[in-house]
Structure 1
Amino acid sequence: MSKPRRPPRHLLWVQLGVPDAEQAFADSNLPVAAGYVLGHCCARGLLDGLTWAILDEATATYAGDAGLLGAVLDHRPDVLCCSVYMWNVERSLWLAGRVRESHPEIRIILGGPEVSPGSVCWDDPTADILVAGEGETGLPLALAALDRADSRPIRIVAPPLAALTGLADPYSQGILPPGLKGNCLLETTRGCPCRCHYCFYSKSARTVRHHDEAAIRNFFRWAAADGRVRDVYLLDPSFNRARGTRGRLDKLARWNRGGLDLHTETRLEGIDAALAAAYTRAGFRSLEAGLQSIHPAVCAGVGRRLDLPAFATGAAHLVTAGLKLDIGVILGLPDDDPAGFRDTLVWLRRRDLAEAAEVFLLSLIPGTALRERAAAEGFRWMPRPPYYLLAAGAWDETRLLQGIYDVEEILDRQHHVDIPPYDAEPAPGGWVQRIRLNADSPGAAAALAAAIPRLAAVVTLDIDCHDPDRAAPRIAALGERLLAACPFGLSRMVLRGARPVSSDAAVTIQAAFARADQYWNRVNYFRDDATGLYSCRLFQRVPAAEWRDWLDRLPAWLDLVFELPPDPTEFDRLAGALYERLRPGLSFVVGGDGVGEDFRRHIVRAVEETGVFSRWLPAVE
C-alpha cells in the first residue's frame, strides 16, 4: 500500500511596518523581499507541497497587536515567516511568541537584515530557524530543516544567488500587488560598490549584480497596463556608480512612457547638467544622496570617499533640473565632533540645501564594520534597536542632544515631529484609530475589551469623565488592559473632563499606558520632553468657554487640545495667552472646519507664523 499523502503545508509571510505615531513611513511597508523570494521559488518548483500567502499591507502596517495576532491565526499557517528589520524585530518576536503559545505546532522562520550576531533575535529561542543571507536560497534550506531535531534556533547562512538572470519582479507575476497608495519598490540591483562601515548592505552583498533589462522593461509594461501604479522607488543603493548611467536613463525614459514618478539613491559626484536633465526625462522626481559630513577625514573614517566640490556641483544641477533632493547627514560619526557637525549643517544652509538635509543619529547596526570597531574601541550604544550611539570620541549624550538643537537652529526647522492627538486620515482595512470611552461608566472596561481586536496600531482614546483626578484609577486600569493586549501599540489619550486634571493624576494615567522600553521611546531618546514617553501621549481637551479658568491650573508639561473659540477676538486672546506663557507642553486647536476666510487666516497665522499651536485639526469634532 502506498503511504497517504501529507496534506500541503501553508506558509504565511509577514512583514510588519515601522512603528510611528505620525505614520509618516506607513506607505513604505511593502514586502518586496517576500515577493521576490516566493516568485523565485515558485518558478523553480521549490515550494511543491506548500501553499503560501503574504499578509496584506493594511493589516501588517496598521493593525494593532491583538488584531495582528488574530489575522495571522485566521490564516491557519503551518509555517510563519517574518522579515525582520531593526524597526520591527521586537514586535515580530512578540508575534511569533504569541503564535507559538497558542499553536506550538506552527514552525517559525525569521529572515532579513536583522538576523545577525548581536541582534536581539540571534539568541532568542522563539524562532525555529534564523536565515541570514538571501531568501531565494535561504527559504528552501529553511523548509528542508524544519523537521530536523536540532536544538532551536537553527541558524542558516544562505549563499547569494550567483546572478539575477531570470528573476522577475513580483508585481507583474501577480505575487505582490502595488502598495495601497499606488507605490512599488522595484529591485534593479543587489549589492553596493561602496563599503560604508555603518551600512549592513555592503557587508551582506559584496558583489554587485544587476537585474535583466528585460525584467525591468516588463515591469513598466505591466504597470502601464495595470493602471494602479503611481510611484516607483528603484532599489539601487548607488544608481549612477555603474557604467552607462546615461544609457540606463534613456532606456527608462522610453519604458516609462506612462510618466510614473521615479525615485532612487545616487552619488552626486559626476552629475552634470546633461545627466540631471536625463534623470528628469526618465521620470525621476526625487533622489537620495549621502553626504554624511563635509570633512573628508570624517568620511574616510567610515569608509566613504568625498569630493565636496563635485558633490555641490551635482546637487546644483539636479536642483536646477527640478528634482527634489534628500541629502543624508549623520550625527555622531566617531571621527567627527560637534564643531565639525555644525560645519556640515552651515555648508548645507549656505547652498540653499537646508530643506534637503535628512539628519540621522548614528546607529551601530549588528553585522557592520562600524559595530565591530565600536566593540573594539569601547563605544557605548543602545543594546536594542535602534542601536543609537551614546558615547564615542568627542560625543556623549549631552553633545548628541545639542546636535539636535543645532539641526533645528541652523537648518531652521523642527527635527522631531509633534505627535498629534488625532489622525488626519482613517486607517486602511477598517482598523479603528479612535474610540470614545466613559470612564465614569461601569461598562468602560467591557467596551474597550470589545474594541481591542479591531484597534489600529496607533489609536486615540477619547475618555469622558466628570473629574479626571477621581477617575484616574479607573482610567489607569483601562491603560493596563490595553497595554496587556497591545504592548507595541502607540496610544493617545484625550481627557474630556468637566474639570482640569492635576499633575499627579496625569502622571498616574500616562504611566499606566506606557511601556518605557519600547522602540518608539528609544527612537525619540534624544528629544527634549518633560515626560520622555512617546509610545503614549496624554492630552487634556479644553472647552472653548473654559480656557481662561483652566490654562494656569493644568500641568505646564501636559499637551492640550483647545476647542476653537467661536469668536476670532477670543481666539486671538487665547493665542496671546499661550504666547506669553511659553508652556513646554504642546497646544493643538480642533474644530472650525466651516469658519470664514478671515478667521481661517487668524488660525493659520497662529499655527504657521507664531508657532503658538502645533497644529490645527479643523475636521475633528
Structure 2
Amino acid sequence: MKVLLTAINSKFVHSNLAVRYLKAFTEDMNYECQIREFSINDRDEKILEEIIKEKADVVAFSTYIWNIEVVKRLSNLIKLIDENIKIVYGGPEVSYDSLNILKELSGDYVIQGEGEKTYREFVEYLLGDRSITDIRGLYFKENDKVISNGNRPLMNMDEIVFPYKEDENLDNKIVYYEASRGCPFNCKYCLSSTTHGVRFLNIERVKKELQYFIDKKVRLVKFVDRTFNCNFKFSMAIWEFLINADTNTQFHFEISADILKPQELELLRKAPKDRFQFEVGVQTTNDEVLNKINRFVNFSDIKEKVVELLEIKNIKQHLDLIAGLPGEDIISFKKSFNDVYSIGPEEIQLGFLKLLRGSSMREEAEEYGMKYSPYPPYEILQTNDISYDELLILKKVESMVDKYYNSQKFNNIIKFLINSFETPYDFYLELGNYFDKKGYFDRNIGNSEYYRVFLDFNMDITKLDSEILRDIIKYDYLLFNKRRGMPEFLGKGLEKNVENEIKDLLREEYSFKDYYIESFSIDIDEFIKNNIIKKGKVYFLCSYEGEMVDITRKVKKN
C-alpha cells in the first residue's frame, strides 16, 4: 500500500513542513510513503502527470489558501483518471468547517487540525488494523454523506518526530521549523486564536535540531512559531545558542516586539549581523482598531522596542500592516503607514485582511459591513469604513512599497524624491498612480526601466534637478547592477583617458582587474550621510561586486 504526500508550495524555494511531519511520524509502519513537492507555478497537467506516475493508492494533499483551487482541480482530474485512488486532505484550509468542505471536494477524507496522530491511525485503517470510526479528527464519506469522528485532543510536543533526514537535499531552499505550537494572543483575523495555549519543545532538543540546519549549511530557516518570544526563558536560550553558533545560516522569527524584555534586547546586541530576521505584526497604529481585533497593545509600546532593535543595526526587521481592519478608514490607514514608515524598518509588508474560514473575524463580518471574496484567499472587498475603490488605491501603494522600498535597491533615489511630498504615503501613492497612468501594471518592464521611471516621474511630477537625480540613480544602479549593462539614459560614464589617468595614480594601491572608476557631479557621500546636495566632481572606485569607495581626495591630491 502506497501513500503519496503531496505539497503544492507557493514558491519553488519553499519546503513543506506538514508532509514531512506525517512521513516522519509513520516511518516505522509497514507501508510505502513518498513525498512530492510542486509549486503553484507548475502547470496542472505536469503535476497531474507526476502524481499518476507514482502509482499511489492514496494521494494526500496539504492544503492552504494559496493552493486549494489547484488541489480542487487536481482532485477532479485524478478521479477522472482512476476513481479507485483515494484522496485525503489536511491543513488549515480544510480544518475549519471540514464537513461542508469535504462535500464540495471530490476526494474521500479530511484530516482536521493537528494531523500526526490522526494520519497514523488512518494508515492503520488502510492496512486493515483499525476501524475507520475509531479515528478522531477524521472526516470521511459514506453513502454520499460526510461522517465526523469528533475532534482529537492536542498532542504532547515530545511526541513530534523531527521531520528532516540526514540525506535530505535542502540546498537553495527556505526551510521551515517549529519549536512551539499555539499562540498566547487571540487576534480575530488569525486561525491561531482558535487554539488556546502554547506548547513548546524541549529547549535542548531544539538546539540539537537547529544544529542539523547549521551543519547542513541551510541558507534560511524560518520559524513558524506564531509568537516566538512569548516565553522569555525559551527565547533567551535559543537566541543565545544561535548567537554563539559558528554559521552563516539566517534565522527568521515572528515576534511580538512590545513584550521584548531588556535582557533580550541586551542579548540581541551580541548577534552577528544578519544572523536574525524579525517579523513584527503591527497591523495598525490605531489603538482603537487594535482593541477591536483583540490585540490589546498600544502602538507606542511596539514602536519603542522596534526602534531599540533598529539602533542595534544587526537585525533585519519586517513590519506588517493590514488594510481593511474593522474601524480603520483610509485616513487612519494612511496615518498607520506613515507611522510605520517613520521608524525606517528594512521591509514594510502592506497586506489586506483575509477573512479565513474558522476565524472570529469572519463571524463578525456583518457587524462591520465586511464584504469579502468567497474564493481563496477570502480577501476583503469593502467595509463600513473603507470602500473597494479605496482598497484599490492601497493596492497601488502596496505594489510600489514592495518593489521600491522593500528591495532596498532604490534607497537614495527615494530619499531624494520623497521630500517633495507631504508624507511618505503621498509619494508612494503618486508613484503608483504614475505607474497606472503609463500602463506599467499591465505589462512586464525590464530591470533598467524600474530606474528610468524615476527620470520620467521627475519630469512630469516632482520637477527637481534632473542631473542631480540622474547621478543618484546611477549610484543606486551601480550598487546592484553590472556596469557593462548600464543603460544609456544614465550617461556614458567616465571618459577613457581620464579613467586611465586615475588608474595610473592608484595602480600601486588597487588591482583594476577587480575595480573600475565612475564620476559623479555631486558629493554622493555627503548626500547619503547628511542628506545635503553639494555639487562638485567626485570619483568612486567601484568593484564588480557592488562595493563603492569614494577616491575623490586621492585623485585631487595628485
TM-based fold match above 0.5 = yes
1:328 aligns with 2:320: yes
Q: Secondary structure at the match of 2:2?
A: strand
Q: Summarize the Cα distance change of 1:379–1:563 in structure 2 as closer, same or farther, 3 Å threshold.
A: closer
| Whole-angstrom CA distance in 1 between matches of 2:140 and 2:290 | 47
| Whole-angstrom CA distance in 2 between matches of 1:351 and 1:388 | 28
Aligned-partner residue type, residue 15 of structure 1: A
Q: Specify the alignment match of 1:124 in structure 2.
A: 104
How big is each residue's C-alpha offset from its partner over 1:266-320, in whole Å with a ceiling of 9 and x where there is no partner?
Answer: 1111436652352364664210011111121101111112232221121112112
Q: Summarize the Cα distance change of 1:295–1:530 in structure 2 as closer, same or farther, 3 Å threshold.
A: closer
Q: Specify the alignment match of 2:534 in structure 1.
A: none
Q: 1:594 Cα deviation (Å)? A: 9.0
How big is each residue's C-alpha offset from its partner over 1:400-426, in whole Å with a ceiling of 9 and x where there is no partner?
Answer: 1233355578x6966999xxxxxxxxx
Contact 1:256 1:282 in 2 (8 A): no
Contact 1:134 1:161 in 2 (8 A): yes
Q: Secondary structure at the match of 1:191?
A: strand
Q: Summarize the Cα distance change of 1:127–1:416 in structure 2 as closer, same or farther, 3 Å threshold.
A: farther
| Whole-angstrom CA distance in 1 between matches of 2:262 and 2:367 | 45
From 179, 188, 201, give the equivalent of 2:192.
201
1:587-598 equivalences in 2 (<5 Å): 595=484
Q: Name the count of aligned residue pairs.
A: 433
Q: Specify the alignment match of 1:421 in structure 2.
A: none
| Whole-angstrom CA distance in 1 between matches of 2:144 and 2:248 | 53
Aligned-partner residue type, residue 137 of structure 1: K
1:97 aligns with 2:76: yes
From 268, 273, 276, give the equivalent of 1:279.
268
| Whole-angstrom CA distance in 2 between matches of 1:163 and 1:343 | 44
| Whole-angstrom CA distance in 2 between matches of 1:60 and 1:407 | 24
| Whole-angstrom CA distance in 1 between matches of 2:221 and 2:358 | 29
Larger Rg, first or second structure (1 or 2): 2
Q: Specify the alignment match of 1:40 in structure 2.
A: 25
Aligned-partner residue type, residue 324 of structure 2: G
Aligned-partner residue type, residue 110 of structure 1: Y
| Whole-angstrom CA distance in 2 between matches of 1:326 and 1:137 | 35
How big is each residue's C-alpha offset from its partner over 1:508-546, in whole Å with a ceiling of 9 and x where there is no partner?
Answer: xxxxxxxxxxxxxxxxxxx98999xxxxxxxxxxxxxxx
Q: 1:234 Cα deviation (Å)? A: 1.7
Contact 1:220 1:256 in 2 (8 A): no
Contact 2:15 2:173 in 1 (8 A): no
From 206, 228, 232, give the equivalent of 1:243.
232
Q: Secondary structure at the match of 2:118?
A: helix
1:234 aligns with 2:214: no
From 86, 95, 99, give the equivalent of 2:65.
86
Contact 1:138 1:156 in 2 (8 A): no
| Whole-angstrom CA distance in 2 between matches of 1:77 and 1:33 | 19
1:218 aligns with 2:218: no
1:318 aligns with 2:292: no
Aligned-partner residue type, residue 262 of structure 1: F
Q: Secondary structure at the match of 1:386?
A: coil
Deviates more, 1:371-380 or 1:145-154: 145-154
Q: 1:220 Cα deviation (Å)? A: 2.8
| Whole-angstrom CA distance in 2 between matches of 1:232 and 1:603 | 43
Contact 2:371 2:382 in 1 (8 A): yes
Q: Secondary structure at the match of 1:54?
A: strand
Q: Specify the alignment match of 2:336 in structure 1.
A: 344
Two-structure CA RMSD over aligned residues (Å)? 4.0
1:17-36 equivalences in 2 (<5 Å): 17-18=9-10, 25-27=11-13, 29-36=14-21
Contact 2:141 2:147 in 1 (8 A): no
Q: 1:557 Cα deviation (Å)? A: 9.0
Aligned-partner residue type, residue 152 of structure 2: P
TM-score by length of 1: 0.61
Aligned-partner residue type, residue 220 of structure 1: L
How big is each residue's C-alpha offset from its partner over 1:444-495, in whole Å with a ceiling of 9 and x where there is no partner?
Answer: xxxxxxxxxxxxxxxxxxxxxxxxxxxxxxxxxxxxxxxxxxxxxxxxxxxx
1:387-536 equivalences in 2 (<5 Å): 387-405=378-396
1:68 aligns with 2:58: no
From 119, 137, 144, give the equivalent of 1:139.
119
Q: 1:598 Cα deviation (Å)? A: 7.7
From 127, 143, 151, give the equivalent of 2:144.
151
Q: Secondary structure at the match of 1:165?
A: helix
Contact 2:140 2:148 in 1 (8 A): no
| Whole-angstrom CA distance in 1 between matches of 2:161 and 2:281 | 29
TM-score by length of 2: 0.68
Q: Specify the alignment match of 2:162 in structure 1.
A: 169
Percent identity (aligned): 19
| Whole-angstrom CA distance in 1 between matches of 2:340 and 2:107 | 45
Q: Specify the alignment match of 1:486 in structure 2.
A: none
Contact 2:99 2:147 in 1 (8 A): no
Q: 1:69 Cα deviation (Å)? A: 0.7
Q: Summarize the Cα distance change of 1:125–1:85 in structure 2 as closer, same or farther, 3 Å threshold.
A: closer
For structure 2, the residue ranges without an aligned partner over 5 or more in a row are: 126-131, 133-138, 408-431, 462-480, 494-519, 521-558
Q: Which has the higher contact order (CA 8 A, sep 6+)?
A: 1
Q: Specify the alignment match of 1:457 in structure 2.
A: none
Deviates more, 1:272-281 or 1:295-304: 272-281
Q: Specify the alignment match of 2:351 in structure 1.
A: 360
- Higher helix fraction (1 or 2): 2
